[in-house]
């Protein structure tokens, strides 16, 4: 009998969101001051 809770979850958008959030957390942890909006945009890959 198969375990109904044994499922593989693959959600590319969720994985990307987790990666971006992780990048922000790492950058904020390494920074001695608050991240500027420009730094956040750069980390997130936002091009003005």
| pLDDT at residue 3 in the model | 77
Which tens digits make up the pLDDT trace of 24-47?
A: 999 999 999 999 999 999 999 998
Burial 19-31 (b: 16+ CB within 10 A, else e): eeeeeeeeeeeee
Number of domains comprising the chain: 1
For residue 16, being part of any structural domain is answered with: yes
For residue 20, being part of any structural domain is answered with: yes
Do residues 25 and 35 touch, judged by C-beta distance below 8 A?
Answer: no
| pTM (global) more than 0.75 | no
Domain coverage including residue 40:
12-44
For residue 3, being part of any structural domain is answered with: no
Length of the chain: 48
For residue 2, being part of any structural domain is answered with: no
Closest CA to 24 of 38, 46, 44, 8: 44
For residue 35, being part of any structural domain is answered with: yes
């Amino acid at each position: 009998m198969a375990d109904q809770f044994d499922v593989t979850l693959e959600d590319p958008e969720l994985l990307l969101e987790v990666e971006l959030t992780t990048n922000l957390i790492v950058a904020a942890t390494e920074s001695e001051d608050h991240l500027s909006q420009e730094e956040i945009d750069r980390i997130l890959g936002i091009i003005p």
